[in-house]
Structure formats: C-alpha cells, structure tokens
Amino acid sequence: MIGGQRVSVVMPAYNAEKTLRRTVLEIDRAVADDIILVDDGSKDETVAVARDLGLHVVVHPHNRGYGGNQKTCYAEALKRGADIVVMLHPDYQYSPKLLPAMAGMIASGHFDAVLGSRILGVGALAGGMPLWKYVANRFLTATENALLGYKLAEYHTGYRAFSRRLLETLPLEENSDDFVFDNQMLAQAIWFGFHIGEISCPARYFPEASSINFRRSMKYGFGVLGTALQYRAVRLGLAHSQRFAEGGRKLPGAAPALPATTE
C-alpha cells in the first residue's frame, strides 16, 4: 500500500520459469499488496513456481496473446480491489526495485499512468538493446509524438503503472490481443485526457529475457503506425472507432466511464 491506496502487481507470463523467482524476490512487499500472475499457456513450470511463491495465479487454458493476457491481468486486479496496478514482466528485464517510485507517482495524483522508460538516460543501449530495435523505437516514438500530439521518450516499454480510474475508463476490450495492445492502450489514454509520466528505467537483455523476433517486430511496427494514423483520423473527424469511443467495450466489471476529455 502507498498513500493509503492498494497496489497490485500484475505479471503477464509465458514460459517465465527461469526468471520468475528472481523477479518476485526484488518486489517490495511493503508496497505490493497483491501479486497476480496470469499464465498464458506456458510449456514450462511457470505456474508451479508462481504457486510456490504464494502468488495469486490465473491460468489461460490456451494462449491468448500478450494483449489478451494483459486484459485478464487488469480485470483480475480491479476485481481484487486494486487502486494502483503496476505491470511488471516476470522475465527480469525491468527492475522491480522501481515499483515503489512508479506506484508513488500514481498515488501522488499527478499522473494516471507511469512508464518505466529505457530511453531516458542511457539504459537501452547500455543494457544490451539491439541497435536495430533502438533505431526502430526512436523512429516510431517520433512519429507517434507527431500524430498523437503528445511527447513521450518512448511508447514501447513493458513496465507500466496505472490508476484504477484509467483502467475503468479505457475501452481496453476494443484493443488487439497481440503485442500492439500496449501501444493502443497508450493512444487511448491520451485520447481520454489522462496524464502520463515517465521514469528512467535500466533494462537488461539476456537469453532468458523475452523478446519478439524480427518478423513479429515488423508486424508490431506497422500496427503502431496504424494505431497512430487511426487516432489522427478520428481526431480530425475523418473516421470513427470504438477504440476511441466512450461507449467502447470495457474490461469485465469496470465502472461506468467518466465523460471523455478531447482537448
């Protein structure tokens, strides 16, 4: 708990047996009231390790994809009473020690979402991010900042914290079940007028850390550009999308949305 608010850590997992324990042991349990692991059809012992660590475990009988996993993560966290939800990958790529700082930024009331940015400072390349991924990250981020009318250091980190109000407002069920879900969610947060903060986060790249291959990265990149172009078209009144509509599908059990802000 932080600032009187209940903090839930959600971990979307797929074959994370080798890194899960190390990740969980660095989570500050004085801050994290609840740790939820959603297993997306792992072929290893991820579920057994998670249960041995005393985590709350949800198992998908079939692989739903990274975005589908997150939808379950957030719905479960809301159902269990979370005020602040921090998504932390169980592959030990991002530092769990930053969790109190990220949750604290949400608890302050200044931000509705906080991103652990690998780009601020020298974290990305120093941590081993491949140069081609770094270049793609910078190109996509610059394009999105222009089309979305916002300014972030990066849109592609997997380390994120959200307020309950944001999760109950965004029509997350309108988003993809694939990797581009991450990007669509941020575009929605900007559309609905939520404030996004960033904190510098070192990242580690090693064999056990999850990473998508070049083909999936290309698919993700085109999905990112498509999302930004759709956002701009809707903003200009040239298109309509339930992804950016107050009446879009919310997570199961989410409270009615507040009126959308479109400043």
> What pLDDT shows up at residue 211?
60
260 falls within a domain: no
Q: Assess if residue 1 is contained within a domain.
A: no
pLDDT of residue 120: 83
| Number of independent structural domains in the chain | 1
Q: How far, in Å, CA of 145 to CA of 138, rounded?
A: 11
Tell me whether residue 123 is in a domain: yes
Q: According to the model, what pLDDT value does residue 210 have?
A: 57
Name residue 161's beta-bridge partners. Answer: 86, 114
Give the model's pLDDT for residue 185: 98
Contact indicator for 131, 189 with CB cutoff of 8 Å:
no
Question: Is 259 a residue whose pLDDT tops 80?
Answer: no
Q: Looking at the domain assignment, is residue 258 inside a domain?
A: no
Output the domain CATH number for residue 96: 3.90.550.10
Which structural domain range is residue 79 located in? 7-244
Residue 199 lies in a domain: yes
Task: Tell me the two tokens of residue 6.
Answer: 């209940």
Q: What pLDDT shows up at residue 263?
A: 32
The mean-pLDDT minimum among 142-146, 195-199, 201-205 falls in: 201-205
Q: Does the pTM of the predicted model rise above 0.85?
A: yes
Q: Is residue 89 part of a domain?
A: yes
Better-scored residue on pLDDT, 211 or 228 = 228
pLDDT single digits (tens) 115-153 = 999 888 766 777 677 888 889 989 999 999 999 999 999
**How many residues can be counted in the chain?**
263
Residue 138: other Cβ atoms inside 10 A: 14
- Residue 191 forms part of a structural domain: yes
The pLDDT tens digits of the residues spanning 218-247 come to 899 999 999 999 999 999 999 999 999 999
